[in-house]
Amino acid sequence: MKQTGNDQQGLYRPEFEHDSCGVGFITNINGHKSHQTVSDALTILESMEHRGACGCDPETGDGAGILMQLPHEFLMEECIALDIHLAEPGYYGAGNFFFPKEITAKEACRSVIVNAAEKLGLPFLGFRKVPVNPSVVGPTALAVEPDVEQVFIGRPANLVSVEDFERKLYVLRRLITKSVADIVANGSDFYITSLSARVMGYKGQLTTYQLRQYYLDLQDTRLTSAFGMVHSRFSTNTFPSWKLAQPFRFMAHNGEINTLTGNLNWFYAGIRSYASSFFSAEELEIVLPVIDKNQSDSACLDNVVEVLVHTGRSLPHVMMMLVPEAWDGNEAMDPLKKAFYEFHATMMEPWDGPAALTFTDGKQIGALLDRNGLRPLRYATTSDNRVIVASEAGALPVDEKLITQKGRLQPGKMLLMDIVEGKIITDDEIKTKIASSQPYAEWLENYKIKIEELPEPRVAFTNLSKDAVHKYHQVFGYTREDIETIIKPMAVDGKEPIGSMGTDVPLAVLSDRPQHLSSYFKQFFAQVTNPPIDPIRERMVMSLATFIGSNGNLFDEDKMHCHCVALQQPVLTNTELEKLRSIDTGMFNAKTLQTYFKADGQAGSLQQGLERLCRYAEDAVNDGFEVIILSDRALDSQHAPIPSLLAVSAVHHHLIRKGYRGQVGLVVEAGDVWEVHHFACLLGFGATAINPYLALETIHALKEEGQLETSLEFKYLSKNYIKSVCDGLLKIFSKMGISTLQSYQGAQIFEILGISKAVVDKYFYGAVTRIEGLGLDEIAKETLFKHKNGFINKVPALLAEGGIYQWKRRGEAHLFNPQTVHLLQQATKTGDYSVYKNYARVINEQDEKKYTLRGLFDFAHHRESVPLEEVEPASAIMKRFATGAMSFGSISHEAHSTLAIAMNRIGGRSNTGEGGEDEMRYELLPNGDSMRSSIKQVASGRFGVTSYYLTNADELQIKMAQGAKPGEGGQLPGDKVDPWIAKVRHSTPGVGLISPPPHHDIYSIEDLAQLIFDLKNANRAARINVKLVSKAGVGTIAAGVAKAHADVILIAGYDGGTGASPISSIKHAGLPWELGLAEAHQTLVRNQLRSRVVLQTDGQLKTGRDIAIATLLGAEEWGVATAALVAGGCIMMRKCHLNTCPVGVATQDPELRKLFSGKPEHIVNLFNFLAEELREIMADLGFRTINEMVGKAQFLKVRENNLHWKTRTLDLSAVLYPVTNPNKAQTLYNSESQDHGMANIIDWQLVEHAKQALESKTPVFGSFNVKNTDRTIGTVLSNEVTKIYKAAGLPDNTINYKFVGSAGQSFGAFATKGLSFELEGEGNDYVGKGLSGARLAVYPSADSSLVPEDNIIIGNVALYGATSGELFVRGQAGERFAVRNSGATAVVEGVGDHGCEYMTGGRALILGKTGRNFAAGMSGGIAWIYDADGTFAENCNPEMVDLDPLTGEDEEQITALLRKHIQLTQSHLALFLLSNWNQESGKFIKVFPKEYKKVLQHAQFQPAN
């Protein structure tokens, strides 16, 4: 169904849209219906307004809705007036329908409904117009407001149960929807909110407050329900859409399905096998394909839930199938449950991604969290039989006395209420029941095939001869670099190689070196709308398990489902492959197909080869094979191998189209697979398992020739290699936030750059390709180029160099090469503009060789030129420049401060990078220069992010991703953390530091909005900049970020430099900025958000021409990093990660730092040159100011001499699509400021009340009532303290405030020294985030009768990035307590999963249970655990920590903390422990990071300094 205004224009695609949100429900456990429950549900919704969003028009929300029981009494009364007679509940169905307003279309829809009901034999009862109040709705939503009417359908007598009736209603809904789409013109607004005998939903494109006001029914006290499930939507778009609002028919979803494409494909893949006894063939025909096109991920999930429920599974069962817990490798899991999950894994992959799901079928209502617990869900039960569940605690004010339990949903867990039976069913209870409904374990035991147990192969594998290896290398395009830089380290060290300084080689489609097909595929990565995962520290949620064989009939449950080959990981050794090739269980066989095409260079040859292959594959399925092996081994001089990626994807999609794919496993035996990215592409496009025979053979040959510096035998080398492939795969999945291989398979998590739409639509169906590119014949040509090399007598017989990671004359071209580096350094050193122009000419004139997309552009003149003098001066333009975010640590102090001085001299901005900044740089130098970086970066590691740091910024940049390794974290090994770096990063010298892949306070767009709010509170004078990396869909993300109130959005290119990054990430993840910037600009303009934000871009910007193009594509500010470093002496060693930079730029080695020769003048010269060149272009094009130039893409055109056979296939019109301004008032550049919503925050009262403290350090006291909408309490106050008292803050206990109630998110964020806050009640997520010296105490309400230590009191991610201060919590905290704490001290009475993750300093005293994976990545600080029942060890991740007994010193510290805890929170538990110290002290465990211990021990032997 097409949505108004959602058509594809320029680079924007509707499918890029994301949403996220707040969810919640309230239910009466006994099924008692009341209007109060409905009203309470709406109140919950309204308390989550800040989790939703509104766009350019503040009155238009992104969507809100409620799902409740069918309000029978109300409907019956209403219908009487309409002369519609409703039977008893269960004997009729009803639902809210959206009709097009246009009368003909509306009538047509109405008759479709009547006819469809008749066709299915269901009595049509009538329509009821739903009374609404359109005056409350914003103009944008109003413009597309549908007519809402209720439809009533009777239950015919032949349907004996409500379930059967629900099924029929489902078929009816499908039939109506399909028929409207088929036959009603202008029917695209038609939508069925729900149609059920049990539930009914009201929703629309509304804000949370509007829902109640808009639907008059909801205000009617006769309308009752036992539950109300609500949802508030925050979408990255603002295009009007009523039907995208949630809840859907069975569920509401807060989160994101990362693997949607794959899930949909797999669902369609099995369609031929689908059959159900609950549906007739005709009915099934109506129901299929089940999932509607062009809807959100959540809506798709709802469709699948629905069909699985209607085909006979219970709702909780279905939820367990779709969103399973992390079972693979979980030794502690009940075997029964594990068998359930494994059995279901053989037929369906997880719908993977962060998710808080609420669901109901009208009888049961429940909630479920994803395996990683990445969305918050808090709940409370009351003595009056209510259960309240919501994204935030305190969403519905409840008398504390009534509360019987406060909890949070844990990762992978389910909470279920059966309102028919009137009880709460625990996670354990329901899962055990479902897991025992069939003998799953027995089925697995008997039918699952284990590869290691298969008989020896019938045919033995033989090694390729040395000459053959060489020939194969040539044919598949291996280079010396591939072997040296990639394969060798993988085999010898078992690790993926690391590189630095980004990439400046041409995109695959621009390169004149023969490319691997997968080089056209760019990995997607998580950014803002979902978090990446740490595959190392959070390995427990990751899985590489997969199954080869048939998926079977999804609508059925049969033991033969699991008759397939189980693999621990997808890389097959030669022996394993041969076993598989020979497999014969009596009902399970494999077929090998050769993937070749005729190497005659004729047009169509490759297509013929593919068609033959697909035909054979289809035959193989029809002939009953369960496995197809696609092999390219049998190549010869006349027949070239089809690139394996193309072969696999072609067969995969062919079989999906035929509905056969689910019946076979696709195994690839290919020579052109050696680096991790190759494996990822194959898996992403449908391969089940891969045998990289030539890569393995290469290792074998290297070993035989003595080319490897190791004594390891081949067996171990190949094991290493496979291990590094697996680790690399996990990293690639986790970049996108995907946890399991099964979900990744076929998920097509790539954007294709440079392959034609025709090829993609046929062979890579559903993948994104936006600039056209090679057709099949061009792909064949490139393949044959390599093939030919293998069959001519090449002398001497060296493989090609590669030259991707290092410049080589015969290798790939680089923009920074000996000539350009020299010219740039010469120009900036001498200040000679003519030398600069020579440099710029070499870079700009991409005539012979193309390097970049912008190299294909030319300026188009539409105006008279203007005299150069009339163009705004370079001095003004230079203020728009920034340097890149490079941390002190990745580059030397000398290089870092030289950049800062230069930028301060020109009024531009330098960036701290993520490593903090030495406070001494805030003071001016004697000559008036300043080393202070204007931009302070806030990255996932939060190193050195204190109130003082934030206060000293003109701009705060949230790094969501970085170009060189989007979706990944980083690691600074201990030996690089010298005392200076440690001081700046608030860590311990010698102790390693880890930056997590995600910001642990940003798992979704509404979380980002929260962090922006936090930072704005921390320094309201600073612009908030959100750094994104270019990718398909970055435009919609940018729109979301603009709606989250960022002031600046930076779109970084994929090619940017970095200290260290896996080389596959440098090359294969992210897109050029040209695409991302153009998409962001286009989308922001379309959404009328452009004028609210500054758009900035960076990524290998090297010349004024680059900057002119960036400006025309929409950027009004620009970042230049690599070129600035080169001007400062960098000679592109690409050895930053080795600390051996010979020119003192990227090293901390004191000897090498002395060799730094850069001067601020050199860098100033560079920026001056860039600005001057830009001015010349402006004058030529007729622009006097930058502002008038921004976003005028029509001043660009594609070069006329673009004649090369590869590049001429490109179509860049989408990039150059000139967006028109839909609203005259809106400018194409930033011209208005964001409303940060700070006008009415509680902090103004706090500041006012603290006047005396601020002026004279006089202690002040105060008490304030708070609710969950009072967010980020104390942060503005801290900013005010810091402005005056700098890092030192105020004396202890100067500002003493007590808060009563449920505090909103980020209570006490960045709170500084001298603040002492008490919170009586409860906190939400991020309590004490970035704590900078304050003391926080949280304890339950005095009215509460709960046992504090058994109940949750604060949410997730408390103390994230705290540097100092104290937190005392009487009660339990959620997941990731004290994550990345580097100095704060905390006492808490229990924590969730991943406690103290990545902690580098501080102390955590935990007086209760911890969740799983405690201390993952913890390199410093100490945690003490009161392990009363001796179960702690199994929950601890022992990789980096020792579990030690207490020392005397520990005991002293613990008892002191206990005393303080009692004093501040009146903790009974602490009192008990202190009183029984002698007997309880033995139950404490000290969690002592190994590295930290070593450093401390070492320090003990050092003389005191």
Partner 1 sequence: MGKVTGFKEYARELPGKRPVEERVNDYNEFVGLFSDEKLNQQSARCMNCGVPFCHNGCPLGNIIPEFNDAVYKEKWEDAYRILSSTNNFPEFTGRICPAPCESACVLGINKPAVAIEEIEKHIIEIAYQKGLVIEKAPLIRTGKTVAVIGGGPAGMAAAAQLNKVGHTVTLFERDEKIGGLLRFGIPDFKLEKWVVERRVKLMEEAGIIIKTGVEVGKDILADELLKSFDAVVLAGGSTIPRNLNVPGRELKGVYFAMEFLKQNNKRVSGIPYSEEDILSTDKDVVVIGGGDTGSDCVGTSNRHKAKSITQFELMPVPPKDRTEAMPWPTYPMLLKTTTSHEEGCTRMWGVNTKEFLGDANGELRALKIVDVEWETDVFGRPVKFKEVEGSERELPAQRAYLAMGFLHPQKQGLLEQLGVELDERGNVKAKEGQYKTSVDKVFAAGDMRRGQSLVVWAISEGREAARRVDLFLMGTTALESKDAESMYAF
Binding site for partner 1 (CB under 8 A): 480, 501, 512-514, 707, 709, 782, 785, 792-796, 798, 801, 803, 805-814, 816-819, 821-822, 825-826, 829-830, 849, 1131-1135, 1138, 1140, 1142-1143, 1151-1152, 1155, 1157, 1204-1206
H or E element: which one contains 862? none
CA distance 725 to 921: 44
Residues linked to residue 368 through DSSP beta bridges, in sequence order: 357, 414
280, burial (CB in 10 Å: exposed 0-12, middle 13-18, buried 19+) = exposed
For 650, phi then psi, to 5°, come to -60, -50
Cα angle 200, 201, 205; round to 5: 165
CB of 1130 to partner 1, least distance (A): 10
Q: Is 56 a catalytic residue?
A: no
Closer CB to partner 1, 803 or 1371, in the complex: 803
- Locate 1302 and state its tokens: 């449920």
Q: How far is the CB of 732 from partner 1 (least distance, A)?
A: 25
Task: Compute the distance between CA of residue 737 and CA of residue 535 in angstroms, rounded to an integer.
Answer: 9
Q: For partner 1, give the closer residue by CB, 1010 or 1122.
A: 1122
Strands of 236-348, DSSP E: 251-255
CB atoms within 10 A of CB 941: 28
The torsion region of residue 837 among left (phi > 0), alpha (psi -120 to 50) and beta comes to alpha
Nearer CB in complex with partner 1: 1118/1156: 1156
Closest contact distance (angstroms) between CB of 1202 and partner 1 is 12
**Which lies closer to partner 1 via its Cβ, residue 515 or residue 1004?**
515
Q: Estimate to the nearest angstrom the gap between the alpha carbon of 135 and the chain centroid.
A: 38
CA distance 1399 to 1: 49
450 or 466: whose CB is closer to partner 1?
466
Place of tokens 């309308």: 223
Nearer to partner 1, 185 or 798 (CB): 798
Residue among 723 and 794 whose Cβ is closer to partner 1: 794
Structure tokens of 519? 């080089």
- Please, which residue, 1169 or 1426, has the CB nearer to partner 1? 1169
Cβ closest to partner 1, residue 781 vs residue 1490: 781
Tell me the DSSP string of 1422-1473. EEEEE-TTS-HHHHB-TTSEEEEPPPHHHHHHHHHHHHHHHHHH--HHHHHH
Nearer to partner 1, 778 or 1047 (CB): 778
- Shortest distance in whole angstroms from residue 809 CB to partner 1: 4
Q: What is each CA distance from 797 to 67, 104, 471, 800, 1468, in whole angstroms?
A: 71, 75, 10, 9, 79
Give yes or no for a contact between 1003 and 370, defined as CB atoms under 8 angstroms apart.
no
Sequence-ordered list of residues with C-beta below 8 angstroms from that of 795, at least 6 positions apart, any chain? none
Name the residue nearer to partner 1 (CB basis): 409 or 1145: 1145
| 1336 close to 1307: Cβ distance less than 8 angstroms | yes
CB of 484 to partner 1, least distance (A): 8
DSSP string, 1277-1331: HHHHHHHHHGGG-SPTTSEEEEEEEE--SSTTTT-BTTEEEEEEEE--TTTTTT-
Q: Which of 21, 79, 300, 1136 is catalytic?
A: 21
Q: Which residue has the tokens 């912008």?
A: 854
Phi, psi dihedral angles at 330 (to 5 degrees)? -90, 100
Give me the least distance between CB of 1151 and partner 1, in Å please: 7
Quote the least distance from Cβ 807 to partner 1, whole Å.
4
Q: Give the shortest CB-829-to-partner 1 separation in angstroms.
A: 7
- 1045: which residues sit within 8 A by CB, 6+ positions away? 1009, 1012, 1013, 1016, 1024, 1234, 1235, 1236, 1237
Residue 407 CB, shortest distance to partner 1, in Å, is 53
Quick one: residue 1415, left, alpha or beta (phi over 0 = left, psi -120 to 50 = alpha)? left
Burial of 1447 (0-12, 13-18, 19+ CB in 10 A): exposed
Q: Which is nearer to partner 1, 775 or 1323 (CB)?
A: 775
519-531 in b/e burial notation, b at 16+ Cβ within 10 A?
A: bbbbbbbbbbbbb
Helix, strand, coil tally for the chain in percent (to 5) = 35, 20, 45
Distance in angstroms (rounded) separating the CA atoms of residues 750 and 681:
8
| 3-state DSSP assignment of residue 983 | helix
| Min CB(806)–partner 1 separation in Å | 5
Are 799 and 478 a contacting pair, CB within 8 Å?
Answer: yes
- Which residue, 796 or 1448, is less far from partner 1 as judged by CB? 796
- The distance of closest approach from Cβ of residue 818 to partner 1 in the complex, given in angstroms and rounded to an integer, is 4
How long, in residues, is the chain? Answer: 1505
CB of 1149 to partner 1, least distance (A): 8
Q: What is the DSSP string of 1343-1354?
A: T--S-GGGSB-S
**Least spacing, CB of residue 794 vs partner 1, in Å:** 5
> Tokens for 925?
């130098």
DSSP-assigned states of every residue in 20-71: EEEEEEEEETT---BHHHHHHHHHHHHTTGGGS-B-SSTT-BS-EEEEEE--
Q: Which residues are catalytic?
A: 21
